[in-house]
Amino acid sequence: MKITDRNTITPIRPIRERLERARVESSDAKPGDKVSLSAEAQERKQLEAARIAELTRAIAEGDYQVDLERLAEAFVAKERL
């Protein structure tokens, strides 16, 4: 695809600068502030990591089976949005 109208192209740098300014301006964080995950969030993180590791193993070993009907339904549902 060839783009011929440069007026329709938005440079990325100004957008990044605006997003960074907005993030800094909207943040109430102060230097030295700390964030910690709740026990539930930590547990979920571990479960997700275990699930990802299992899927990675299954794909690598060729054991992962794709449910084509479910995949097709997901595509159709996405098209409706």
Q: Which pTM was predicted? A: 0.45
The per-residue pLDDT for 25 is 59
- Cβ atoms of 64 and 55 closer than 8 Å: yes
The per-residue pLDDT for 1 is 46
pLDDT tens for each residue of the chain, 81 residues long = 455 555 555 566 677 777 777 766 556 667 777 888 899 999 999 999 999 999 999 999 999 998 999 999 998 888 765
- Tally the C-alpha atoms within 13 A of residue 29's C-alpha that lie toward its C-beta: 8
Residue 51 tokens read as 């699930």
The per-residue pLDDT for 8 is 58
